[in-house]
Amino acid sequence: MPDNLNLLFICSRNQWRSPTGEEVWRKRPGFNARSAGTSPNARKNVGAADIRWADHIFVMEKKHRNKLMAEFSRLLEHKPIHVLDIPDEYHYMDPELVDEIDVRVSTILDALPH
């Protein structure tokens, strides 16, 4: 793959989990990363431009996928959305959270056809 993969990380308030995912993956060669939230009071709200930009979307919980599907169904028709099943019980860059995101995202990306 000559181009970087664009990874979008989504949680509710874009405070702890999704910014951690962005921080972990944007430093890796071959990847660009962004984060956003689904809540109206998120630090950065997810928008249509984020969805269009992303090659892969990683949500922390099923409720985030459901919210994205309700709001952006047409834009998401050909976008893979991966549910990481990471509960909202970590702080930003918590070492355990970093490990969970790293392992789960790596497992998904490694399984993709190259």
- pLDDT single digits (tens) 57-95: 999 999 999 999 999 999 999 999 999 999 999 999 999
Domain ranges (residues) in the chain: 5-110
d(CA 50, CA 45): 9
The overall pTM is greater than 0.85: yes
For residues 38 and 28, give the distance between their C-alpha atoms in angstroms, rounded to a whole number.
Answer: 25
Cα distance between residue 6 and residue 35, in whole Å? 11
CATH topology of domain 5-110: Rossmann fold (3.40.50)
pLDDT of residue 112: 86
